[in-house]
A and B are shown apart, each in its own frame.
Chain A
């Protein structure tokens, strides 16, 4: 188990370097000069050069990358002795804000969206997926398949705009933009009720595509497991259908679903760009998008780092959870 964990963490390190290097390289292939943007519209050549020096953009890419890694390390050498320090993601080109602060302000918004959305899509997908697997070709199954087709085909931005227009604007049932903090009632709104109230439409939009995908996946998994020999064994023992379903079918069928859930949540934490944009939520996706427009590499890189860590962490969770529920993995 420990060897496995160490191997996973080493791989995570390799993955981390690969992703950040690629981000740096892509950024320097793009023919744009962040310094020119920072220096302003009427800047002279000298101003731009000064801005470049100030931002460290006059140095070669590898030096910049090394500095980035150095800032990120939790240890440093002070007075010839190693000392701990807080990892830093650097400072924004455009606004000179601390990137740590920017990411930490946007991350809870995205996390609210992703975790709430995940709960919603599982609440939708589990019953529909399981029931349609138990009754294939029934009315529910057919209706479910239509939902899947629509969910997979429709773009989240379109879904978001339609929901905002119909539910939010025409019916006035939910606010169509803005974010309220879950815990801290800072300015105009806050607290769990305002938070959930403002997140309602984003959750629905975000969960739509995923519920469709999960209905299809859960249905296929449950159907496949239902035809397993050990399910027949359970019935031959005289187990009632409810017991067959919960104790023998779902435990096996949901192994893959749990894996996918962990991976999807990890992935989405890097930013749910479409939903955040439609509803004006100041989450990681929206911040990343704005920073890309402004060629603000430190913020983009900060969000990439956060997203990578989220994916690595959740994949690790999935592996551990998997080992917990599947003895074949735990004992090998």
Chain B
């Protein structure tokens, strides 16, 4: 049994302007100790997918269908009490902005101790020792003194370390990291990613890492899900996707990365804006921005199918397989035309 199996997940929000379907038929599964990268532009539904799994969407205006099986139990239909037992204990989450994700009026020690005591029947003293242990593990210098400090006394990178310590304190089976490095500067980003990799080896935690940075995915993930406008457009093992990406949107994402190994005149940019999810385009949702658009793309929604050579590599594009391979080669050798 997979650790987490998400099947046909759909999440919609009622807004004043209408119903927005932020996640539309997302499926993936994750084994123990694996890392899954979810990539896509802002607003494509990456974060909402994970918030739905955690049951953290606002109950007032969000509805979800589908299944998110955690060790066989559906997280979406679970009793709130049972879900609370799992949250922060078996599944933990690190958020994007460390500056606002810690409560400013409680010391970090108190917030870490709270995380332990919510799930473990231990004394405050034991919880504090555990908190210290984790602060040391994530590399907070002079942890014994800093444990009683407040969030505003820490830098952004240090706060994200505290967040990671808090999420790992109960040795979860799954860590969901929602753009954990986006709010940090580049050198700190690398430190945080290294830290997460190291801790994953130590704790055998499965990780879902949400990012729009393909470089991060290439370094850390085993599997990749590429999302566009609430749908999965490409999904497969990281090696396969980076070797021969099949979807024009993935090409756009890859082409927009600066490269050292190829002489590229200009970075590829994806023209236009992501569509409004209130009223998404018919057919393939990427067709208004796709340089390879065909007549069929405008009416027929491409199914998420396996490529002929690899049943684990799924993609949703109507182009012929040989066209995809040819264009992917061009992209990777740096000769793709700027669209």
Instruction: Give residues in A with beta carbon < 8 Å to B.
Output: 136, 228-230, 232-240, 247-248, 251-252, 325-328, 331
Contact = CB atoms under 8 A, between A and B. Distances in A.
Residue of B100, B101, B107, B166 contacting most chain A CB atoms (<10 Å)? B101
28 contacts: A228-B100, A229-B100, A230-B100, A230-B101, A230-B102, A230-B103, A234-B114, A235-B56, A236-B54, A236-B56, A236-B92, A236-B93, A237-B88, A237-B114, A237-B115, A237-B166, A238-B85, A238-B86, A238-B87, A238-B115, A238-B119, A247-B114, A251-B103, A327-B104, A327-B107, A328-B104, A328-B152, A331-B153
Nearest to B97: A229
A237 B100 contact: no
> Which among A229, A233, A252, A328 has the highest number of chain B CB atoms within 10 Å?
A233
B103 A248 contact: yes
A236 to B, nearest CB: 5
A233 B103 contact: yes
A331 B103 CA distance: 16
Contacts of A235: 56, 87
A324 to B, nearest CB: 11
Nearest to A325: B105
Contacts of B85: 238
Contacts of B106: 247-248, 251
B114 A239 contact: yes
A46 B60 CA distance: 80
A231 to B, nearest CB: 8
Interface string B115-159: 100110000000000000000000000000000001011000000
B321 to A, nearest CB: 42
A215 B73 CA distance: 42
A198 to B, nearest CB: 41
Nearest to A239: B118
B84 interface: yes
A26 to B, nearest CB: 44
B89 interface: yes
Contact of B102 (A233, A236, A251): A233
B95 interface: yes
A327 B104 CA distance: 8
Contacts of B88: 236-239
A326 B89 CA distance: 29
A328 B115 CA distance: 22
Contacts of B103: 230, 233-234, 248, 251-252
Interface string B75-102: 0000000001111110011010100111
A331 B150 contact: yes
Nearest to A227: B58
A331 B54 CA distance: 35
A239 B103 CA distance: 14
Interface string B291-308: 000000000000000000
A233 B95 contact: yes
A47 B242 CA distance: 106
B127 to A, nearest CB: 13
A234 B106 CA distance: 12
Contacts of B152: 327-328, 331
Given A229-B101, A233-B103, 14 more contacts: A233-B95, A234-B114, A236-B95, A237-B88, A237-B118, A238-B86, A238-B88, A238-B118, A239-B118, A252-B103, A252-B104, A327-B152, A328-B152, A331-B152
A238 B107 contact: no
Contacts of B153: 331
Contacts of B107: 327
Contacts of B166: 233, 237
A312 B104 CA distance: 28
A237 B93 CA distance: 8
B83 to A, nearest CB: 8
A240 to B, nearest CB: 6
